[in-house]
């Protein structure tokens, strides 16, 4: 069975405020000589997440108490290794992590637009009025064709978005071949 609390094998690209996240790194730092931690930095805020060495891996567990203190937004994530003999520290890797307040905050502009356009199209099915005039004022709504064109545009944008878990973009290297 899958354990949702088991550490992932890579740093997360995003985390939700107040939710659990855990991951491991394979970097080979001897725990007798070094301590390892992540610094979550955003503007003037910095939070520290210490690593624990078990089974030849450094494990980082951001429990709900830790992530509950994070402010939504993008953080710089520094992996810091400290030499225990003299407390000298070195930043060995830097990445970014996005922190969201709610699941809906993770939606991109393109995803929001697809939802909104589909909502308008559903509303049009109930009351199909494209334009109307009251006294000297008139309003003309986008046609169904214009709305579906916009929806297709935003669906294509969603297809080009990076994966929210890995942060990597989808590979859309499709080659179309025709034979005559």
CATH code (residue 46): 2.60.40.10
Do 81 and 27 lie in one domain? The reply is yes
Running DSSP on this structure, what letter comes out for residue 91? E
DSSP-based helix, strand, coil % in the chain, nearest 5 = 25, 35, 40
Do 113 and 68 lie in one domain? The reply is no
**In-domain check, residue 33:** yes
**In-domain check, residue 154:** yes
**In-domain check, residue 176:** no
What's residue 121's pLDDT? 84
Say if residue 98's pLDDT is above 70. Answer: yes
Say if residue 164's pLDDT is above 70. Answer: no
Torsion angle of alpha carbons 27, 31, 35, 39, nearest 10°? Answer: 40
Do 121 and 67 lie in one domain? The reply is no
Question: By percentage, how much of the chain surpasses pLDDT 90?
Answer: 45
Say if residue 18's pLDDT is above 80. Answer: yes
Domain boundary among 103, 125, 146: 103
**What does DSSP say about strands 34-42 and 45-50: parallel, antiparallel, or unpaired?**
antiparallel
**Average pLDDT, whole number, for the chain?**
86
Query: Which helix (DSSP H) or strand (DSSP E) does residue 99 occupy?
Result: strand 89-100
Residues 57 and 25 sit within 8 Å (Cβ to Cβ): yes
Do 40 and 89 lie in one domain? The reply is yes
Cα–Cα distance, 19 to 105 (Å, whole number): 14
The pTM assigned to this predicted structure is 0.62
**In-domain check, residue 91:** yes
Do 93 and 135 lie in one domain? The reply is no
Q: Which of 120-134, 148-162, 166-180 has the lowest mean pLDDT?
A: 166-180
Q: How far apart are the first and last CA of the chain?
A: 51
What's residue 110's pLDDT? 85
What's the domain count of the chain? Answer: 2
Do 76 and 33 lie in one domain? The reply is yes
- Band of pLDDT at residue 66, cut at 50, 70 and 90: very high
**In-domain check, residue 171:** no
Beta-carbon-side half-sphere exposure of residue 45 (alpha carbons within 13 Å): 11
Cα–Cα distance, 27 to 50 (Å, whole number): 14
Do 117 and 144 lie in one domain? The reply is yes
Do 95 and 19 lie in one domain? The reply is yes
| Average pLDDT, integer, range 155-170 | 70
**In-domain check, residue 31:** yes
Name the residue range of residue 137's domain.
107-159
């Amino acid at each position: 069975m899958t354990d949702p609390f088991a550490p992932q094998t890579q740093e997360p690209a995003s985390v939700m405020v107040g939710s659990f996240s855990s991951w491991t790194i394979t970097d080979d730092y001897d725990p007798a000589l070094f301590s390892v931690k992540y610094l979550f930095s955003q503007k003037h805020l910095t939070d520290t997440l210490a690593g624990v060495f078990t089974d030849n891996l450094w494990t980082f567990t951001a429990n709900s108490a830790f992530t509950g203190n994070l402010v939504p937004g993008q953080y710089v994530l520094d992996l810091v290794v400290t030499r225990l003999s003299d407390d000298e520290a070195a930043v060995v890797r830097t990445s970014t992590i996005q922190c969201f307040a709610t699941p809906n905050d993770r939606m991109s502009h393109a995803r929001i637009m697809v939802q909104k356009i589909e909502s308008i199209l559903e509303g049009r099915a109930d009351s199909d009025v494209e334009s109307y005039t009251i006294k000297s004022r008139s309003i003309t709504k986008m046609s169904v064709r214009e709305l579906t064109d916009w929806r297709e545009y935003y669906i294509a944008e969603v297809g080009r978005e990076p994966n929210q878990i890995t942060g990597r973009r989808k590979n859309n290297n499709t080659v179309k071949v025709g034979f005559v």
